[in-house]
Amino acid sequence: MRVKVDVEADRPSLAWDDVHGPARAVVYGLLEEHDPVLARSLHDDGWRGHPLKPVGVTSPQFKGAPRKRGVYTTSPDGSVWFGSPVPEIAAALVAALAVRTEIIWGAARLRVRGFTVEVGAPAAVEGLVELETATPVVLRREGRELLPDDEHYVERLQHNLSHKADVLELPAPRGLRVLGAGPRRMFSVRGAPRVGATVRVGMEADPRFVDAIRSWGLGLDTVQGFGWIR
């Protein structure tokens, strides 16, 4: 399940540390409001014996924001997406968001103008699927963050997706390949850099996995707003 929250920021731009930095706290804050036990268990232990957290979110995205070099500008037409392939987690997010009039995102206040629940992916069939991310994908190998042109990128992304399939008890995708990529982007998360790029990938996948991963995301740090699929 995916939830699009329409928002309007109270300022013309976000500090770079506030683009992805607050995402994790926002997600756990929402979960704690509705189900504190679930929030604590997910935070401390992951999901059902796996350390991965099956939650996805975006950084705030603003349509029509003026382009200014080195500035993350906002506009009145903003949105933040939240999602999870786990019904209990998704339901808690929806319940918490339904009563929100604003989301505190770092130093910014995002006024909630409405939200839309998207249940299930567009119709899919077994076989080749293409997915494109709206936010950069973060991957690491031996402590080094990888970009789509790097030698081990596909290997690490395949490992990430296979691990997520195991958590969800679904067949892992096959034949993963990178079809396109955006520019290198770097953000700060709690004082540490996160480097990645948006990607467009192709794979052979079970439709149930496609539906699930659209509510979770590609790569690492999805709870920090990375790897969200359009």
Domains of the chain: 2-118 (3.30.70.1890), 127-224 (3.30.70.1900)
Which burial class, exposed, middle or buried, applies to 51 when counting CB atoms under 10 A from its CB (0-12, 13-18, 19+)?
Answer: exposed
d(CA 2, CA 215): 6
Plot region of 106 (φ>0 → left; ψ -120 to 50 → alpha; else → beta): left
Taking only the tens place, the pLDDT of each residue in 48-59 is 888 999 999 999
Taking only the tens place, the pLDDT of each residue in 123-165 is 555 678 999 999 999 999 998 999 999 999 999 999 999 999 9
pTM of structure: 0.93
Cβ proximity of 204 and 174 under 8 Å: yes
